[in-house]
Every structure is written in C-alpha cells, then in structure tokens.
Amino acid sequence: MKFLFNLLPRLSVFLLFGVWLIGPVKGQNGKAWFNDKDLMLVGSYYYPEQWPEQNWERDIKKMAELGFDFTHYGEFAWAAMEPEEGQYNFAWLDRAVELAEMNNMKVIMCTPTPTPPVWLTSKHPDVLMVNEDGRTVQHGARQQASWSSEKYRQYVEGIVTKMAQRYGDNKAVWGWQIDNEPSHYGKFDYSDNAQERFREWLEEKYKTIDALNKSWGTAFWSLTYNSFDQVQIPNGKVLVAQPNPHAILDFKRFHADEAASFVLMQQEILKKHISEDQWVTTNLMADYSMVDPLRMKELDFVTYTKYLVAGFDMGIGEQGFRMGAPAGIGFANDFFRPITGVTGVMELQPGQVNWGQYNPQTMPGTVRMWIYHVFAGGNEFVCNYRFRQPLTGGEQYHYGILKPDGLEVSSSGEEYVQVAKELDKLRKAYKPEAKLPPAFAARRTAILYNPDNRWETENQPQTNQWDFMTHLKKYYSAAKSFGAPVDVITEVKDLAEYPVVIAPAYQLLDAELVERWRKYVEQGGHLVLSSRTGQKDREAHLWEARFAAPVHELIGVKEIFYDLLPESRESIVSMDNQSYAWNNWADILEVNNKTEVWATYTDQFYKGKPAVISRKAGKGTVTYIGPDTDDGKLERDALKKVYQRAGIGILDLPEGVLVEWRHGFGIGLNYSSQNQSIPVPAKAKVLIGRKELKPADVVIWQE
Ligand code: GAL
C-alpha cells in the first residue's frame, strides 16, 4: 500500500507528460551528486572580492592548470554583493563563476551570513550578539550576529534568496555551503534575542513552569521560578556560586538547536530556488562542543574543516607537532561520514597558518599525507584553504597554494599538485567491483556518541583532568591501531552491523538503551563500556538507587564507586602482570561471581578491587573499563583482549601508523616521527610510494 502511495505522484506526472521519472534520487543520502569513479575531487578557495579584477583570469587559470577540479566563492562577501541595503551587485561574482566554467572547474557557492555588512548592524544594532560580560559584539571581525535575531534572519533570507535565484540554475555551481563554521568560535550568545528564544524553547519542552522546576530540581538553593519569563540564560559571570547543572545542560542543547535552526532555515530557502543537481551543506569543526552536527542531519550532508598544526597538538614523537595526531582527520572522517553516509572536507590546512598558539612549518610531505587521510576516510572532495596567501587583513602569514607574489607555487601547494596527478593514476586503476576485504569487515567497530554525555560530563567534570573527547579518542585511536574501520554513530543506528560497539563515558541513559545493549550482546555483539557510564538519567538526575544501578546487571557488578587523584600522584592498575598508571578517573567495581576480573587496583584503600571486568552474555560479551589513564595503554590493551577473545583478527600497528581501505585501495600513512614498515599484503600491487615509510609518507596499493 505504502508503495502505491509513493508511486502515485510519479505515475500522474507520467500520465501528464509521458515521461517515467525514475532516475538517481538526489535526496538525503546525497550519493547521487558524486561519482565513485572520480574517487575524490580537489578544490581551492578563491575570494575574487579580495583581489584586483585584473588578477582573476590569471589566478583561476592557474588553479585549473595546477589540477584543481573546483573552487569556492562567496563566503564572506556580503558587503560586495549588497553594498547598500537593497542594492545588489552580482556582476563581479557572475564574472568569477564564468571564469571557473571557462577553465572547467566547478564552483561551491557559499552564503555570506557570517559577515553582515556594516550598514546592516549600524541600522539594527539589536541583531548583534552579546557576550558573557554583557558587551555587545561589534562589527570588525566575523560571526557577530545573533542566530536568534528575527531581524537578522530576515536579512539572511533576503541575501540567500537573491543568491539562490541567481545561481540556482547555473550549471557551473556544483553545490552550496551555508555560512562558515557556524559556531561563534566558542562564545555563547546572551543577547535579549537569545534570552527570549531560550525561554520559548524551555516552554516548548516543559509546557509548565512546575515541570521545569521539578526537572531542574530548583528547590535546591531556592531557585524556584514562578514563570518562564524569570528564567535567565545561566552565566557563571553573574553568579556567585556554581550554576544549576540542569539549566546549563538545557542551555547547551538550546544553543546547538539554535545553530542548527539557523543553518536549516538557509537550506530551506535555497531549496526553494535551486536545481536538484545542486547540493547543500555547511562546514563544521570536528571537535567543537557547542554545535552539534547531528542536529543538522537534514542537510544533504555535513562537511568539516580541519587544521592540525597550530601549536595545540604535539602529535606523536619528536616531530609530531609538525604533523598533528592521526585522530585529527581520522576522527573527523569517521564522525561526519556516518551522519548521512556522505561527507567532504571543506577546508584543509594548506601548511603554515597565522592564528595558532605558535605556528610551526608542517613537515615536508604532511599536507600530502593529510589529503590521503581525507581520501582514506571516504570523502567525496577536499578543498584547500586557500589559493592565494592574503596580503592584507586578519590572515596575513597564512599559507596558500601560491606564495605571496601570487605566481609561484608554495611548498604545500606543490604537495597538492602532486596529489592531483596521483589521483589521476588511481582513477585509472579504480575497480568498481572491489569489496571491503573480509579481514577489515570482521573488525568493524562503532563508537556510540551522544553530545549530552559530553556536555554533562564537562559541566560536572569532578576533576580538572577530565576531558570527554580525550577519553573517547583513546578508544577511537586504539581501535584504529588494530586496523579497524570505525563509525562514530548515534543511538538511532542499528548496532548489529558492528561486531564491536564501544560506548565511552556514556553517562546519560535510560532503561530502553540498556535493554538494546543487552539484546545486542545476547545476539553476539561485543560491547565495551567505560568510566562514568550509566550514572544518570537523560535529564542528568542521579538514580534513586545504587550508583549507576541501571548497568549493574549488564556489566555484572553489585556496586560501583569512583575515585580521582591529584595530578601529581599516580596509582597502578595491574592486568596480565603488567602495570598501568592512572590518575584521571577510576571506577572501582565489586563484581558478581560470574564476572571475570581482567585488571585490579594495586594500591589505595581499595587495593585488590576490580578495575576492568568482562562477562559473557548469550553469544556476546560485555567489558567494562573503569579507569581513565593519561597514555591510554590500559584502555588499548583491554580493548585488544576484547577483539582477541572474540576471535577477531586485528593488526597491531605502531603508534601513528594507519592502515585504511577505500574503493579497492589499501592506504598506509605514517604520522609517527620514525620510519615505519606498513603491512602491505604480499600479493598486493603498490601503486604509489613503497611500504617503508618515512615520517609523513604514504603508500597506496591494490589487491
Ligand atoms: C578556518 C575558517 C576560515 C579561515 C581559516 C584560517 O577555521 O573557517 O574562514 O579563517 O580558518 O585558517
């Protein structure tokens, strides 16, 4: 019956126009916009409005000659598109699009909404966001407008509609990016507009103020509200003691919803005008906590931006600070791809940047290795940020594909040129029939993620050493070091697809999820849970029961308590006669007699108590890893035991080495500071590089 309903609209069109409308469905899964045989297309950002018009032709031609498949326009150019209210000027952008087309390059068109023109904010200062100190954020940089301002949304609708009408049918325009890294770069908005929308959000959620009072536990410290109008955005800067954690959790949820609604509103406008051949996305930062990509899953797909070498990450070994950590691009690939099944990299670091803690040179070869890591993660495209090094403005000293003279190719630009040529070689070798090799498939692993766990454990870390993403990435990196294909998934996904599911620090849950986990294990899945799991319900209330009671039966314990140490002290856990130091977090467990103890605490007043436990249940197993260590060695070794006991064949790769598979190609990458040998199968044909890799080198083979 449902089938018939789906068919009816097509049938009627068929009867009217005599055409049978079956073709690639260009919908949510987006795949129809890309061709597998292209493997991955490579592009570069260009800002025509930032350069004299006489340079454009030369620059765009050069971009095409260097091997780029597409360029990117429009992102911050509102003032050039609408220099005065209602006076539009698109002639310059028309010309730039034409130049791309003449040079056989596609264009990603971007809405300029992170940068409202000054005429707009001078006329309507109430569209500006307000920071936690109560200061109104001013014109002078970017992302100064509030997502919650109705007025701002009206102006956004105006410019986005104009752009969509103008370029929605332009064959050179491949797809659309909405805004840029919508995030307010770590700042929350405390404006009256945000305040009002937060109250509306709360009213929608709780319906009555009594329900809010109950859920937030406002009897504590007499916080009780009489009406929604009295609720303020929680702001530590105007409070004498710690804010209500439930208020903070709800505010973070609201903030992430607000970002998503701002982006999705733009998608709705675009979709009214653009052709079905054009896709719509936005670009997000992978590790950013205040914006939640999962809330934007109605986009055709979500892309990401990545900068790995800016003095924040020491990477692996002595030279790691020049390459970044393998989990940087790796985690972003595996986090963004499963959202709709498609992803791309909108911005990849081009070499040295200007905004880091310090800005080292990348090790020669690193940019190329990053591009191949993006390739290995299944991305449809990678776009380099940016083609020309800016001579003026806030990003002077930022590398581009070209040197400051606008003529010579920079060192990292050369790496792009090399990859563009190598990709042609891979396209020729591509075999459409290639299937994921069984050894890889057997170790498919899911990391279960819900931003609520991140927000809530960070709201109440209990120790200055707690960091949710660092905790999660220890498990992610361990699975990658076994050569496992990893998907970071949410609870909507079917767990049964994955032989191993890891749910790190899954603090907030309900009986239904525990039941799903139980069934997954009964049917043969291997579930791994870690520190802090199951302590609270979905609204972050502790259970009126034993601590973390809902997971006790599943993991096979009677009692749990936790301990935290000063940073200057270390305690030891022992597993299989090996010692592991911890001081961040420890769940101390008391087990049932059927639970196997893998590791115990060797000191403190709970010496001899279990730290890591495992039990068989039905056809599968459940393992609980109580401690959070600095180096992640205990977590890795415990996880290794899970795969080995389950009979899953794993690789045992040295730190910094990755082995991936995509479209029939094996890919080996070396992020370590030493030479490494990649386990390329004996019968494989090496297409690019050799299996002995220097730091920042790559090998690609085909079986
Ligand atoms: C990104 C941002 C770009 C540019 C770049 C500089 O995070 O999206 O617009 O500022 O950093 O490295």
Alpha helices in 401-536 (DSSP H): 411-429, 438-442, 451-459, 468-481, 511-522
Question: Which tokens is 18 given?
Answer: 């005599």
Residue ranges with strand state E in 564-697: 571-575, 578-582, 586-591, 596-601, 610-617, 620-625, 657-662, 665-670, 676-677, 685-688, 692-693
Model pLDDT, residue 32: 79
Amino acid letter, 231: V
> Which residues are CB-neighbours of 230 under 8 A, at least 6 positions away?
none
Give yes or no for a cis peptide into 337 (omega within 30° of 0). Answer: no
Alpha helices in 482-540 (DSSP H): 511-522
Per DSSP, 351 falls in state: S
Helices 468-481, 326-340: axis angle to 10 degrees equals 90
Ligand 1 and 347: CB distance under 6 A: yes
Q: What is the mean pLDDT of each run of 10 residues along the chain (703 residues)?
A: 36 36 45 89 98 98 98 98 98 98 98 98 98 97 97 98 98 98 94 98 98 98 98 96 96 98 98 96 88 96 97 95 98 96 96 96 98 98 97 96 97 96 98 94 97 96 97 98 98 96 98 98 98 98 98 98 97 98 98 95 98 98 98 98 98 97 97 98 96 98 94
pTM over cut 0.85 = yes
Model pLDDT, residue 266: 98
**Measured between alpha carbons, how far is 273 from 263 in angstroms, rounded to an integer?**
16
DSSP bridge partners of 560: 589
Ligand 1 and 181: CB distance under 6 A: yes
Rg over CA atoms, the chain: 26
Contact 45, 386 (CB under 8 A): yes
Q: Of 337, 326, 328, nearest to 293 (Cα)?
A: 337
Tell me, in angstroms, the distance from the centre of ligand 1 to residue 404's CA. Answer: 18
Model pLDDT, residue 288: 74
Question: Which tokens is 547 given?
Answer: 């601590």
**Measured between alpha carbons, how far is 313 from 311 in angstroms, rounded to an integer?**
6
CA-nearest residue, atom 5 of ligand 1: 385
DSSP string, 246-291: HHHHHHHHHHHHHHHHHHHHHHHHHHHHS-TTSEEEEEEETT-SSS
* Closest ligand 1 atom, residue 181 Cα: 8
* Closest ligand 1 atom, residue 285 Cα: 7
**Measured between alpha carbons, how far is 356 from 185 in angstroms, rounded to an integer?**
14
Ligand 1 and 305: CB distance under 6 A: yes
Tell me, in angstroms, the distance from the centre of ligand 1 to residue 224's CA. Answer: 43
Per DSSP, 52 falls in state: -
* Percent helix, strand and coil across the chain, each to the nearest 5: 35, 20, 45
pLDDT in tens, 139-150: 999 999 999 999
Tell me, in angstroms, the distance from the centre of ligand 1 to residue 73's CA. Answer: 14
pLDDT in tens, 535-593: 999 999 999 999 999 999 999 999 999 999 999 999 999 999 999 999 999 999 999 88
Model pLDDT, residue 222: 98
Among 347, 353, 386, 388, residue to substitute to test ligand 1 (most atoms within 8 Å of Cβ): 347
Amino acid letter, 401: I
